[in-house]
Amino acid sequence: MSRRRRPSALLTAFLLALAGCSAVPTSSPTIQITQVPPRPAEDVGIEPLSPTRGAPPDEIVRGFIDAAASTVPGHPIAKEHLTPTAAKTWSDSTGITVISPDYATVTTESGAVRVTASLIGTVDQRGVFTVGAQSVFSRDYTLEQVEGEWRISNPAGGLVIPSLDFERLYRLRSAFFLDMTGQRLVPDPRYLITGEAQPNTLVQRLLDGPSAALAAGVRNPLGGVDLAGTVAVEGTSAVVDLTGLSTDPAPVLPQICAQIVWTLDQLRTIRTVEIRIDGEPVDITGVPAQQTTDDWSGYDPEAMPVDAVGHYIDRGALRTVTTGEPAPGPAGTGRYGLTSAAVSADPRTGSLSFMVGVRETADASSLVAGPYGKELSTKLNGDTLSEPSVSATRAEAWVVRNGTEVVRVPDGGQAQAVSAPTLAGLGRAEVLQLSPDGVRAAAVVDGPRGPALYVGTVVRAQDGGVALRDLREITPSLSRVTDVAWKDGGTLYVLARDAGQDRSVPYTVGVDGYGLTDVPTSGLPTQPTSIAAAPARLPLVSAGGTIWQLAGGTWATLVRGAEPLPGTAPFYPF
């Protein structure tokens, strides 16, 4: 899925904005991306220059870094900046290190040229981005004279590339895998170089499987499958010929087709996909040979229930954002004195079906649950409970009890503990939100540096056990994070401190930590305290005890032209 970014106010010129995709030249070290500058207007095909005669050492080093911004396989111009021996052994395929464009070069006492810069992050050989941890990139380049010209003798493997060049040449796309229920596609972000190889590279990413962070939470029916030949594109149609895939059992074929079609659809130049197995077109009843995402809409990674209108709490009562009217049933009357809530829908009908809510007293909290619009009963108690969260793939709610225990409450069942082995060492979890597909969870954890944003993977064992694994910080440049919501399966809205004015403001960021971008605050009466989001829905915030929605770059009241409606804790059903 492509993500559009606006320049942010935090870290400015270091960041990238990616939209299309292809293949990473080979691999790379680490990148921390925080804000996205305007997209350069230069032609992607601009190639770097060979070293000039008599160039001093620092110019050779800068030329070598500039030469990383090439679309030519093997980066031959970059090799011209190396000694003959180094050129034979250096590989551009071991990773990409993205640095700030204002990097510095100085000559050390030993005569080496030292490059220092802000480390934005790294992209590995499979196009997987890893955010940097606000660290500094530093590397010493040793040079020798070759026939009277300075050349680098110790280049490290992989590419070092300034962020603006990376943004110009690389695009963000997702490889789509399946949630464990097989109901929904899950995005796995990848960064790929522009060019005609994009369709082939993107399909190969599917065959290679999910990233390490996501692997335990998804299924990949394409595991062990190969391409019988290069993905062929003619006009707006692509042909994908697979080999090594058994046509039995047949139910797997729809999932495989959905993966491939939704993944290639991101390229926009491709409108239809024909999928073959060992040269023979797949034969699925009711599905044409030329497939589109419409044929696999049931796997839509951004699908929302028909009745998924925003809700919020007003003086303990559940209300809807359409008119501010009470929600049906006793929850809408305020009987339970709710402080927060969540609702999920029946995937078969799209009707809202399962509801949970948290109510608080001076010294305790309780979670009530039951059918939407009907009586609710107490399912869980604790000193504190976080706002509940649901996903679109399972009828269950998650909360954090007492800041340390992650608990899930199935519809009609009893509360069950969720193992969260990495949470204990991070701090106290104040917020936890499941992704729409239920495969990831975002958490605001108050640790030694204050509240920070983490994302982990939901792993479900065959014996019924559930774990939240590998919580990793994705916005190290932000401080005082207060809330988070899922815009879609690959993008988050975050409320965090504005470094310039010491207030809470909204941002968007990719699930991998890429592209932290500020969101307008125009129209808000005061700083927002909570945020809600969902695919294809207007984001909502509570600010000054009232509910607002973002439309056209400005926050507006729920009813145009009317006074803001009082309320807190907005959310969307899934």
pLDDT tens, position by position, 241-277: 999 987 676 678 999 999 999 999 999 899 999 999 9
- The domain locations on the chain are 12-168, 174-299, 311-571
Residue 35's pLDDT is what? 41
Q: Are 33 and 163 in contact (CB under 8 A)?
A: yes
pLDDT tens, position by position, 313-370: 999 999 999 888 999 999 999 999 999 999 999 988 999 999 999 999 888 999 999 9
- When pLDDT is averaged across residues 281-291 and rounded to a whole number, the result is 95
Question: How far apart, in whole angstroms, are the C-alpha atoms of residue 451 and residue 433?
Answer: 15
Among 35, 39, 32, CA closest to 13: 35
pLDDT tens, position by position, 81-102: 999 999 999 999 999 999 999 9
Element (H, E) at 150: strand 149-152
Three-class SS string for 404-434? CEEEEEECCCCCEEEECCCCCCCCEEEEEEE
The conformational region for residue 333 under phi > 0 = left, psi -120 to 50 = alpha, else beta, is: alpha
**Average pLDDT over all residues of the chain:** 91
pLDDT at residue 41 is higher than 80: no
CATH superfamily of the domain spanning 311-571: TolB, C-terminal domain (2.120.10.30)
Residue 299's pLDDT is what? 97
* Amino acid found at 64: F
